[in-house]
Amino acid sequence: MILLSLTNCRRLIQIIALLPALLMVVPVRALPPDKIEVVQVSLDPFEDGWAVNAQFEFVLKPNLEEALEHALLPLYFEVEFELTRPRWYWFDEKSVAAHLTYRLSYQPLTHEYRISTGSLHVNFATLNDAMGFLMRLRDWKVLDRNSIKPGETYIAALRMHFDTSQLPKPFQLNAFTSREWVLESDWKRFSFEVTR
C-alpha cells in the first residue's frame, strides 16, 4: 500500500486541476472552402511610387488540385487593386485600377509546378511551395508618385479570385453552373493618405 504525504497530495490535486487545461485542444480556424482571405495588405513607398504588399490565405479545392496535377489545365488567379478618392458632392473618383494575373501549372516531364506572370516564371518542387509563393504578394508597383495628390485621403481595395474566364470553354460552362469552381476573396478596403 502506497501512502501519500501531504505535500504529494497537494501536487496531485494541482496536476488533476490542471489536466483540463493541458488536454484542451485549440481549434484550428478553418476557412470556408470557397473563400480566399486577405490576411494583411499595405501600400508602401517603392522607387518612384507605391507598391502593394499582401498576404492571402486559402486552400486549393480538391477538384482544382486534381485538374492541375493531372496536367489537364493551368489555374489562373487574378489580383485586383483599386484606389478611389471619396467625394461628398459626386460619385467617388476612381484614381487607379490595376490587375495582376498568376498562372499556376504542373509540368509532368519535370514533376514541377510553375507560376507565371507575364513573361516571368518560377518553378517549385512541390505544390505547397508554389501555393506559398502565390499567397504572398511582394512589391507590386501600382501607383506612380504623380498619379495621386498629396494631402488627399484615398480608399484602397484589394482582392484575389480564381479566374474562370481563362478556362477552356467546357470548363467555363461547368464553372458557371457549379460552386466547386468558385474561389474568391471579398474586397479588403483600407484608407491611404499621401503625406509627401
Domain range annotation of the chain = 34-193
Residue 159 and residue 81: Cα distance in Å, rounded? 7
Residue 28 and residue 39: Cα distance in Å, rounded? 16
Beta-bridged to residue 103, according to DSSP, are 76, 116
Q: What is the mean pLDDT of each run of 10 residues along the chain (196 residues)?
A: 53 52 42 80 90 95 86 89 83 84 93 92 95 95 86 91 82 66 90 78
| pLDDT given at position 1 | 43
Under 8 Å between Cβ of 179 and 150: no
Confidence (pTM): 0.76
Other CB atoms within 10 Å distance of the CB of residue 153: 10
| pLDDT given at position 23 | 42
Element (H, E) at 122: strand 120-124
Cell of 168: 477552356
Cell of 150: 498629396
| pLDDT given at position 123 | 96
Beta-bridged to residue 97, according to DSSP, are 82
> Of the candidates 33, 31, 38, which has an alpha carbon nearest to the alpha carbon of residue 183?
33
| pLDDT given at position 89 | 76
